[in-house]
Structure 1
Amino acid sequence: MNYLDEQFIKTTNQRNWLLKTDKLSKEFAERADYYDRNGVFPFENFDALKEEGYLHLTIPKEFGGHGVSLYEFLLVQEKIAQGDGATALSLGWHLGLMMHLHVTQKWDKEIYKRVCHEVISTKALINSAATEPNSGSPARGGKPETIAVKENGHWIINGKKIFTSLAPALHYFIVPATIEETGEIGDFLVPRSTTGVVIEETWDTVGMRATRSDDLILTNVHLPENALVERKEKKERPSAQGWLLHIPACYIGIALAARNEAVSFAKTYQPTSLPHPIKEVPEVRRKIAEIDIKLTTARTLLYSTANKWDETPQEERGKLAYDLAVTKTVVTNTAVEVVDLAMRIVGGQSLYYSNPLQRYYRDVRAGLHNPPSDDITNKIIGDRAFRE
């Protein structure tokens, strides 16, 4: 680890987690190109994460998990992303949701305890499958076209979801659907083994290829009555979901990897026109300084927001919705800028498929499309200014 890794470590426990994660991250980096080129899910990486107990990192201690704080979760997320961004983003959805479900306590406690037990004992993975072809992301207010019908004491669900990250590895899907009888939107817990659940392999992107965010097809899926785990409430103002900071943590981790690649290149690359490596060139040093300033600024915002979340009582966290939205926008856009600067230092060689920078460039841009997107953040911040 370098001084940038050390920058935000505050406790011995955090250092221990980072040292442990650093080893895994280096292993993941060696396999990242293979998973990216072939567009396959990184099962080997997840086997290692399962073996080391990372799947229950955010499960509270009372249910057998490690019970880490949001701050600690982000430290781990950022470090994994330095090795493989797709692995980090995939793990982040699972860990973030497990944290969110505990914090909000909107599920029946026994159902949550059962899922926690399965995560720990059988290494089960869970993620939300919310985005649809026509309604888009729920963050934009679209009503699900996936329909849930109640019949003879059970639910029948039909619909299609896209962008289902971890699709090949999931054991549970959290599926938002419109309840036909009332028009309400409900979240349904759908086990992968249920008849009528099919994964359609459609993921064909240039970035985050290894997340395998394929389509989920639900055809006459029969579920018990208690599969309805939450009825959604209409929200007029942005909701405060601290767990979503796993998204910017992932992308700034990718940016850190790009920075390190550029520094390493500058130390060794010496064109025939120079009597020394390009690290001695003032413009190269200026760009590295600019990168480090951007990283320090963005990460300071990220970890101060996470710390604020951890220290704020649950009933007052709604006030942090704006902080969270601003943090995601600033950190993710900074990550894109840092990767671009790193590629300018390396030059044309950064576009070679053999160079990880081209993968960082493709992966980091995906963050611009994760929630909340920049236009939504700009709207809510602008609305707040004129409302007050």
Structure 2
Amino acid sequence: MTDLLSDELLADVRRRAADYDRDNAFFSEDLADLQASGYLGAMVPAALGGAGLTLRQTARLQARLAAHAPATALAVNMHHVWVGVGRYLHERGDSSLDWLLREAAAGEVFGFGYSEPGNDLVLLGSRTEARPDGNGGFTFHGRKIFTSNSPAWTRLGVLGLEKTGMLRGRNGSARLVHAFITREGGGFEILDDWDTIGMRASQSRSTVLDGAHAPADRVLRLLPPGPSLDPYVLGIFTSFEVLLSAVYAGIADRALELAVDAAGKRTSMKTGKSYAQDPDVRRRIADMALALDSVWLQLDGITGDLDASAADPELDRGAGWFRATAGLKVRVTDAAREIVDQAVRVSGGSTYFNGSELGRLYRDVLAGIFHPSSDDAAHATVAQSLLGPLE
């Protein structure tokens, strides 16, 4: 594991993070280093050319990367999500994404093109139109937002709704089309519209699809709109929520580290002692640590069960994974925001300046609010698991 993210590599990543943020620039040098280290193939099984790491091990590495450069980790996350889906299927005897695993190990960069403006259905529906090409493939027409790795992805996973054409679902109903397009295939425009307050280096720009083509062999699922227990959907949901949580846990790790360092370096004029001796500061830091301990217990527990469930059916929660991982994402991102906020209070007014690393973390951690599952969506998922669907 340490070979994939060496101390030297991480030091370079941290050194560049502030410049990427200041310049609103893509993390191109970081990406080149991560490709060279084999990190993009971290979860690819060894037999398919990768490092063979588990989801739990990769989550730990993602947190470590996020502690050095959150935006870099977030963007790489979207690549790891697809590798995680391929691994999830592969371990359950489904080889439909083995091609993706091999390509990830060979250096291809995967992007996640599912989010859309105004679409709170996320995986359950799409505003993008998928038009059959007559040969089992589809062209896609619509707008995607928050497309991380926009300057560098070579393969983009997309979701669209097939409403008319040659292929129909049950009872003539429309179907959701899950597929992959390639950069060289064209049929899309990437807008230069990423100018945010945080996570700037991810360059998660909008993507306008206007005829982007996925041939039949890159159409992975045709599913009815709405909830699904298809392993492909479960793999996307669980990988996305878990790895996203790991990024924000890494931000919280770093915030605590910076707060402890600041408390030791700052001196009170009132007492003449360091702030590490101030009872209020000590309590704040203890609160941060207690919250962070809980975060890691949850992350390690859920990723451990997901890893083991491929071989042990008793650990497979089925539909319960939606509740478990959506809840994990909300709890971790909420805890991370609170931990960073407490770290800012401990560290003082210097964090309000642009050159402050902790000030940057304060902006970056806010992005956790906007990733699915939202707080409202997670609560709806948990309520349905306990009370059944709304009538």
Same fold (TM over 0.5): yes
Shift in CA distance, 61/383, structure 1 to aligned 2, threshold 3 Å: same
Cα distance, 1:312 vs. partner? 1.7
Structure 1 letter corresponding to 2:341: D
Gaps of 5+ in 1: 1-13
Structure 2 letter corresponding to 1:374: D
Secondary structure of 1:157's partner? strand
Distance in 1 (CA, whole Å) between partners of 2:181 and 2:228 is 29
Structure 2 letter corresponding to 1:176: L
Cα distance, 1:212 vs. partner? 0.6
**Preserved CA contact (<8 Å) 2:110 2:156:** yes
Distance in 1 (CA, whole Å) between partners of 2:216 and 2:388 is 42
Distance in 2 (CA, whole Å) between partners of 1:387 and 1:263 is 45
> TM-score with structure 1 length normalisation?
0.88
Give CA deviations for 1:43-90 in whole Å, capped at 9, x if unaligned.
111111111110100111221111111110111010000000111111
> TM-score with structure 2 length normalisation?
0.87
Partner of 2:115: 131
Partner of 1:158: 141
Shift in CA distance, 293/176, structure 1 to aligned 2, threshold 3 Å: same
Aligned counterpart in structure 2 of residue 168 of structure 1, from 139, 145, 151: 151
Percent of pairs with identical residues: 27
Give CA deviations for 1:212-247 in whole Å, capped at 9, x if unaligned.
111112223344332322213445378644312011
**Preserved CA contact (<8 Å) 1:144 1:176:** no
Query: Superposition pairs for residues 314-333 of structure 1, below 5 Å?
Result: 316-318=316-318, 319-333=320-334
Partner of 1:243: 239
Shift in CA distance, 21/299, structure 1 to aligned 2, threshold 3 Å: farther
Aligned counterpart in structure 2 of residue 70 of structure 1, from 51, 55, 58: 55
**Preserved CA contact (<8 Å) 1:17 1:76:** no
Shift in CA distance, 137/250, structure 1 to aligned 2, threshold 3 Å: farther
Partner of 1:334: 335
**Preserved CA contact (<8 Å) 1:160 1:217:** yes
Partner of 2:171: none
Give CA deviations for 1:336-387 in whole Å, capped at 9, x if unaligned.
1100000111122111111111111111111122121111111121232334
Shift in CA distance, 296/223, structure 1 to aligned 2, threshold 3 Å: closer
Structure 2 letter corresponding to 1:298: V
Partner of 2:71: 86
Shift in CA distance, 145/153, structure 1 to aligned 2, threshold 3 Å: closer
Structure 2 letter corresponding to 1:380: T
Do structure 1's residue 349 and structure 2's residue 350 form an aligned pair? yes
Partner of 1:267: 264
Deviates more, 1:151-160 or 1:345-354: 151-160
Distance in 2 (CA, whole Å) between partners of 1:152 and 1:103 is 28
Aligned counterpart in structure 2 of residue 56 of structure 1, from 41, 48, 53: 41
Structure 1 letter corresponding to 2:364: D
Distance in 2 (CA, whole Å) between partners of 1:62 and 1:40 is 36
Deviates more, 1:218-227 or 1:181-190: 218-227
Shift in CA distance, 296/21, structure 1 to aligned 2, threshold 3 Å: farther
Gaps of 5+ in 2: 169-173
